[in-house]
Amino acid sequence: MCAGNIVIVKSPAVALSLRVALAPLGKAFGYPVRAAVEDSIESEINNLLEAR
C-alpha cells in the first residue's frame, strides 16, 4: 500500500499553488499527493506515514 506521493519543487510558493491541483489527483489515485520543497521532505514523509 502506498502512503502517498510527494512532488518536490524548488519554491514554497510553487508548492502552495500546486496543492490545489494535486488534491483532486490524490482522490483519483486513492492516496495523498503532496507538493513540498526539498527542505521539508522528511516532515512530509512523516506526515504521510502518520496519516496512514
Judged against a pLDDT cut of 70, whether residue 31 lies above it is answered with yes
Amino acid identity of residue 34, one-letter, is R
Q: What is the pLDDT of residue 3?
A: 80
Q: Which three cell numbers stand for residue 38?
A: 526539498
Q: What is the mean pLDDT of residues 27-41?
A: 92
Residue 9's pLDDT band, with cuts at 50, 70 and 90, is: very high
Judged against a pLDDT cut of 80, whether residue 19 lies above it is answered with yes
Q: What is the pLDDT of residue 13?
A: 95
Q: What is the pTM of this model?
A: 0.76
C-alpha closest to that of 32 among 9, 10, 51: 51
- Domain boundary assignment for the chain: 5-51
C-alpha closest to that of 7 among 25, 28, 51: 25
Q: What is the pLDDT of residue 38?
A: 93
